[in-house]
Structure 1
């Protein structure tokens, strides 16, 4: 799994943090970023879909913390967005997990 995903000439990106020596540990999705001028075009969804596809292919669990940026989606909207891609979790600790989807 890559550590950096960049699409649309850098207007959308995602980064992950992993320990290559321990492939049993979840990979942390540290951020998904879309340039403010390009929001609402589906580019964040495209980059997140790519991250999820790689995780599924490699059998990797993804973990993230729901932390809205100052100019992005609200907490509720961001959590709902991640849920559309299979992330689950509660609002108590803001952590969401996505297990790999097999049999694709």
Structure 2
């Protein structure tokens, strides 16, 4: 591993930690509305999807279909079940489709 990679990972970890700590410190004495709480709860998932989704939709039909299966599963099942089904479907689709 290069020093640039270590520096990048350390910087990303620090940024993640600081946003959580600063968010807590800035909002700990404030009363948040139900809507604001909901947005803060779903934001990490939205960020993850925005980072991952382009790779699924730009690398062939197997990944696109697996992403669609994951979206459908996420509507009905808990996260762990969705994760298992999504990974299994991706593996199977990559094996079956060119």
Q: Compare the two structures and name the one with the higher strand fraction.
A: 1
Larger radius of gyration: 2
Identify the TM-score tier after normalising by the shorter chain: under 0.3
TM-score normalised by structure 1 residue count: 0.25
Q: Which has the higher contact order (CA 8 A, sep 6+)?
A: 1
TM-score normalised by structure 2 residue count: 0.26
